[in-house]
Amino acid sequence: MIENSSDLYINRELSWLRFNSRVLYQAKNKKSPLLERLKFLAIYGTNLDEFYMIRVAGLKELFSAGIVDSGADKLTPIQQLNDIRKYIHEEKVELEKLYFELIDELKNEGVSLNFYDDLSDEQKSRANEYFFNNLYPVIIPIAVDATHPFPHLNNLSFGLAVKLQDSEKPKNIKFGLIRIPRVLPRFIELKNGAFVPIGSIVVNHINELFPGYKLLSATPFRITRNADLEIEEEEADDFLEIMQEGLRSRRKGSIVRLEIGESDDTDLIDFLNSHLKVFKDDIYSYKTPLNLGSLWQIVGNKDFVHLTLPPYKPKMLPPFSEHSSILNAIDINGEILSYQPYESFEPVVRFIQEASKDPNVLAIRMTLYRVGKDSPIVKALIDAALEGKQVTAMVELKARFDEENNLHWARALENVGAHVIYGIAGLKVHAKIALVIKKTNNGLKQYAHFSTGNYNQATAKIYTDISYFTNKDEFVNDATRFFHYLTGFSKIQELSTIAMAPTQIKPKMLALIENEEKFKDNGRIIIKANAVVDVEIIKALYKASQAGVKIDLIVRGICCLRPNVEGISENIRVVSIIGKYLEHSRIFYFKNSTPQMFFASADMMPRNLERRVELMVPIVNPKIGEKLLELLKVQINDTALAFELQSNGEYKKVEVGEIEVNSQDFMEDFINKLAQSKETQDTVAKMKKLSARLLKES
């Protein structure tokens, strides 16, 4: 079949790089406040760190193992590595240009970021004082020679490499390191908005660190290691113990990238790499600070809030209110859907808190994936367990880079008698679900909550996610079956109303796509997801497009489907929305199915559909379905934040027409209007009326 041609599939790693380029593009937006623009440089940098730690590290392992079997795009691991390196090296020019443009503009607003040599005498005096009082006791000068071995450097270690000359024996050249612990800030704030990179201060005090030696040259450096944990679950008697060992081994993973400050002294690079052994094309020389993520220190400085966007306050909309019972609201309405961060996450927190205090609640069960460091939800579960309620928590210890948080909460819950489980061997539990069981005069009553996002009050302010409460029998009964599946022995991995991966979601999606195909030109599909990678899903979409089905994909990140290919995907449009909120919800619309609307914890990726436990929830209430459809239409017609994927794999900024449509601003305005009106009826009609002013019918 023609759909098997490698030309029809975009490589997932290169697609991800283009996503990160769209993040970088936000730093160019002159309409945004300066620190909002600087924030996107920080996000770009932390994204790239994780990409190298996981994706590039994985490709290197495949190459080392001699594996050449490639995906649908037919690129081998070494071809992908070469393309990645070329892309990042080329984009580095744009990154540095943007950084210095922003730094120049920030100076005009009273925020300066200068190296030590550019400081005034008064500022140098303050920097020197700071060095002796705060840095000198904790930084570590390290000699490297025959009697002083090169030290082990943990993942994302930052420091300085120095080339020194013996003052008494000028021909005696030494090399050493200065380790700068992570506990220290990467920028030192002197006074009145003046920031100095910590390495710039340290390097100007070499004499105090290496007495009797003269500094010839120095460069900051930073290393990146393979941080993907390999856990042999089948061999684990104690999963907590093996996870702890895995976290320790992460610090020792093979080095996959070396970042250095721009330096003319090749001896320093040769010195570092004689010990680190990094492939030459994985060495990146930057004029910018090496750890762009550290720019959050400046972005988050409360003295400069005038250089950021005014914070949006999520609204508590009816039927929820500040003081009413969440369980009562569910009893009255049967089902309630809210959309974060525009609507408040507080009802989700109060759902668990109220259940923990209600003497008639017998049990609380929920999955915990990325709950954060200071979680009111987990604290409520601990309180519930202390009150003698049956608490069951599925704590996913394999949630990448949140493993330590989750280990902490798992122990805390176990210590108070909660029943804690760590998932299913070979599968990561990514489903977002909570279940409350309450005793009433008429017997037991159950309340369920399903979400596309994590139970994390911090990310709920910046991630767009669906939150759905219900007491409908078909949903709560499936929720009970789901938790029985997690906690017990079960060979039945199917639910009745809700679809569960790895057994049900992919077949369900394929059947829904195939059903639309039957309706040809009257078929309509909208898929909103973080990624579209799965080849079978893509092939099904190609086939539907060939039949005449109109398909819109709203894909924030990776998309391996190639749109607008003649005879294959002419009816498929792909847009990516990048804005101040991270588009995280997964919503699926099929015009000719019953019901038409679904939301899920899963993306359209093999790992989600085949190697994770996920949930896809149907929206059976027509009004709730209409609300989500209107939201999708607004995003399809976005002209402010949207980029459209071209058939060559590149993304093009969507042009602004007569009226600029910013889907995120639209939702803020819409929710604000609803909150001000205090009206509970006809919210869908209000959204349609408001959106009709901006949008043509999709």
Query: What amino acid positions are annotated as catalytic residues?
Result: 430
Q: Which helix (H) or strand (E) holds 305?
A: none
Tokens encoding 176: 């050493």
Query: Which residues are CB-contacts of 617 (< 8 A; sequence separation ≥ 6)?
Result: 450, 468, 475, 498, 598, 599, 600
DSSP assignments along 234-269, one per residue: GG-SSHHHHHHHHHHHHTTSPEEEEEEE--S-HHHH
Cα dihedral sign, 115-117-120-124: positive
Q: How far is Cα 349 from Cα 552, in angstroms, rounded to an integer?
A: 34
Q: How far is Cα 237 from Cα 576, in angstroms, rounded to an integer?
A: 44
Selection from 450, 455, 534, 465 nearest residue 498 by Cα: 450
DSSP assignments along 22-81, one per residue: HHHHGGG-TTS-HHHHHHHHHHHHHHHHHIIIIIIHHHHHHHHTT-----TT---HHHHH
3 state SS of 562:
coil
Q: Give 139-204 as a 3 state SS string.
A: CEEEEEECCECCCCCCCCCEEEEEEEEECCCCCCEEEEEEECCCCCCCEEECCCCEEEEHHHHHHC
Tokens encoding 676: 């001000």
CB 342 within 8 A of CB 370: no
Selection from 400, 384, 401 nearest residue 392 by Cα: 384
Cα dihedral sign, 627-632-634-635: positive
Amino acid 34 reads L
Phi, psi of 358 (to 5 degrees): -70, 120
Selection from 186, 183, 165 nearest residue 174 by Cα: 165
Tokens encoding 266: 């090749």
Q: How far is Cα 458 from Cα 348, in angstroms, rounded to an integer?
A: 13
Beta-bridge mates of residue 435? 365, 448
DSSP category for residue 467 = E
3 state SS of 121:
helix
How many residues in the chain? 698
DSSP assignments along 607-622, one per residue: HHHHSEEEEEEEE--H
Cα dihedral sign, 154-160-165-168: negative
- How many helices (H) and strands (E) would you count in the chain? 21, 27
DSSP category for residue 419 = E
Query: Which residues are CB-contacts of 312 (< 8 A; sequence separation ≥ 6)?
Result: 341, 342, 668
Beta-bridge mates of residue 384? none
Classify residue 264 as exposed, middle or buried by CB count within 10 Å of its CB (0-12, 13-18, 19+).
exposed
